[in-house]
Structure 1
Amino acid sequence: MKLRIVPASTGLTWVKGGISVFRRQPMAIAALFFMTMASMSLVSIVPLIGPALALGLLPSATLAMMVAAAEAMQGRFPTPAVLLVAFRTGKQHLRDMLVLGALYAVGFLLVMALSALVDGGLFAQVYLGHIPMSAELAESDEFQYAMWLAMLLYLPLSLLFWHAPGLVHWHGVPPVKSLFFSLVACTRNITAFIFFGLGWLGAFAIGGVLISLLGALLAGLGLFSAGAMAGLMVAMAMMMAAMFFSSIVFTFRDCFEPPQAADVDLPDTKLDSTF
């Protein structure tokens, strides 16, 4: 396995990749993303351990969307079977993905615990859905400090786990080593990831503006209600999120040399031939 260093503009190519692959199989990818989120939500309601279990499933869910995107880019229809890809490729692979999930859950809960030192746990409870958000709470200095601290601490956590599911699945890297390699790949290609983040911020902003304008136009014609507008905004947010998760596989593809296996299901490694 060899690390690749890519130009900063590659970050925008990754954004284009997520949008392009979604356009190829919009219904399948949107449905898979919804099923993934629904499964994690169902697991989270298990008493006591539900939230931790749901957090532990996130690396596997990310891998499922990566595999689905790779399937779509190769002209194949991604079926719901990809949701179980992390758990049906051998006992060692299963153990590694479970370890990776456990490490993510511990890391995330640690971030929430550290933020709780600032505001007594209010931000953590809001984020985890235990208490509702209110204007008074959002304007609280302690709540805002805790929010910014959590965001600051979550950044290195996300870099650690960004490539880790793909490294475990496609390269057979042990969980702890995958975290190290993921962090190195992200930091060495940080300019590309900055462009990637800015590109998605722009895409989400443009999508929100377009939906707002469309809703306002239809509401002015008496064809749209406030409830329908809210539903449209949620649907748009889900589709954009599905595109974002689909783009992760392109960041992985370009940051590492492909494994020397004949049946690797990554998209074409040549950027120009992909889009």
Structure 2
Amino acid sequence: MKLHIVPARTGMSWVKLGIRAFWRQPMALAALFFMTMASMSVATLVPLVGPAIALALLPSATLAMMVAAAEATQGRFPTPAVLLVAFRTGRQRLRDMLVLGALYAVGFLGVMGLSALIDGGQFAQVYLGGAKLTPEVAQDASFQSAMWLSMILYLPLSLLFWHAPGLVHWHGVPPVKALFFSIVACVRNFGAFFVYGLGWLGVFLLGGMAIATVSALLTVAGLAGSAAGGIMVGAAMMMAAMFFTSVVFTFRDCFEPPNSPTPPSAEVPHDATATDPADPPAPGPH
């Protein structure tokens, strides 16, 4: 496995490729994203350990969207079967993905625990859905401090797990090594990821403005209420699905593909014209 250093402009290419791949199969990818979020929401209903289970499922959900994006890029229709791709590639890979999920849950709960030292757990309860965010709570100085601490601590946690699911699944890298290689790849390609983040920030801002404009028009037409709310939720889900669709391109361009062929359903795409679905071409920035 070899790490690739890509120019900063590649970050914008990742954004464009994610959006383009999404629109190849918009209904399928949006539905798959909704199903992954719904499965995690259902997991939270398990007494006592529900939130931890939901957090542990996130790496597998991320991998599912990466594989689905790969399928869409190769001109194939991603089916709901990709949601189980992390659990169908052998006992060792399954064990590694479960370990990766457990490590993520521990890391995230650790971030929430540290924030609780500042505000007594108020931010953690709001973030995890156990309490409502009121204006009084949002304006509380300790709540804001806990929020900023969580954001700062979550950044390295996110970088640790950014490439880890793909490294475990496609390269067979052990979980702890996958975390190390993931953050090294993100740091070494800081310029590209910075542009990538700015690009998605722009997409979300433009999307928010478009949603606000549509909602205002519906209000003028007397159609506000459930219609506007449905449009806002649907648009937000669609943009989130686009974002997760783009993750596979960041992975593809940061790491050289494995030497051994991979199953068609687990292929890392390079472009839509690849002729051998079992042997992904060498990556390169677009």
1:266 corresponds, among 258, 268, 281, to 268
Q: TM-score, normalised by structure 2?
A: 0.93
Query: Where does residue 243 of structure 1 map in the other structure?
Result: 242
Deviation, structure 1 residue 221: 2.6
Give the residue type in structure 2 aligned to 1:227. Answer: S
Question: Aligned ranges for residues 24-173 of structure 1 at < 5 Å?
Answer: 24-173=24-173
Residues 19 and 242, structure 2, Cα contact 8 Å, conserved in 1: yes
Q: Secondary structure at the match of 1:205?
A: helix
Structure-2 separation of matches of 1:97 and 1:253: 19
CA RMSD, Structure 1 to Structure 2 (Å): 0.9
Give the residue type in structure 2 aligned to 1:215. Answer: S
Question: After superposition, what is the alpha-carbon deviation per residue over 1:227-265, rounded to whole angstroms, capped at 9, x for unaligned?
Answer: 211221111110000000010000000000111123361
Deviation, structure 1 residue 215: 2.2
Residues 185 and 254, structure 2, Cα contact 8 Å, conserved in 1: yes
Residues 8 and 191, structure 2, Cα contact 8 Å, conserved in 1: yes
Residues 218 and 228, structure 2, Cα contact 8 Å, conserved in 1: no
Query: Where does residue 191 of structure 1 map in the other structure?
Result: 191
Structure-2 separation of matches of 1:110 and 1:214: 40
Structure-2 separation of matches of 1:112 and 1:263: 37
Deviation, structure 1 residue 181: 0.1
Deviation, structure 1 residue 271: 4.2
Structure-1 separation of matches of 2:113 and 2:261: 44
Report % sequence identity.
70
Query: Where does residue 255 of structure 1 map in the other structure?
Result: 254
Structure-2 separation of matches of 1:189 and 1:47: 41
Q: How many pairs are equivalent?
A: 271
Deviation, structure 1 residue 120: 0.3
Residues 6 and 285, structure 2, Cα contact 8 Å, conserved in 1: no
Question: After superposition, what is the alpha-carbon deviation per residue over 1:76-105, rounded to whole angstroms, capped at 9, x for unaligned?
Answer: 000000000000111001000000000000
Give the residue type in structure 2 aligned to 1:97. Answer: M
Q: Indicate yes or no: 2:210 matched with 1:207.
A: no
Structure-1 separation of matches of 2:192 and 2:94: 31
Give the residue type in structure 1 aligned to 2:250. Answer: T
Question: After superposition, what is the alpha-carbon deviation per residue over 1:143-183, rounded to whole angstroms, capped at 9, x for unaligned?
Answer: 00000000000000000000000000000000000000001
Give the residue type in structure 2 aligned to 1:247. Answer: S
Structure-1 separation of matches of 2:148 and 2:236: 23
Q: Secondary structure at the match of 2:6?
A: coil
Structure-1 separation of matches of 2:4 and 2:113: 35
Q: Secondary structure at the match of 1:146?
A: helix
Structure (1 or 2) with the greater helix fraction: 1
Higher deviation after alignment, 262-271 or 234-243: 262-271
Runs of 4+ aligned residues of structure 1 deviating over 2 Å after TM superposition are 261-264, 269-272
Structure-1 separation of matches of 2:134 and 2:82: 38
Structure 1: stretches of 5+ with no match in the other structure? none
Structure 2: stretches of 5+ with no match in the other structure? 271-282
Deviation, structure 1 residue 217: 1.9
Give the residue type in structure 2 aligned to 1:78. Answer: P
Give the residue type in structure 2 aligned to 1:116. Answer: A
Question: After superposition, what is the alpha-carbon deviation per residue over 1:194-225, rounded to whole angstroms, capped at 9, x for unaligned?
Answer: 11111101000101111211221233133x22
Q: TM-score, normalised by structure 1?
A: 0.97
Give the residue type in structure 1 aligned to 2:261. Answer: A
Structure-2 separation of matches of 1:168 and 1:270: 21
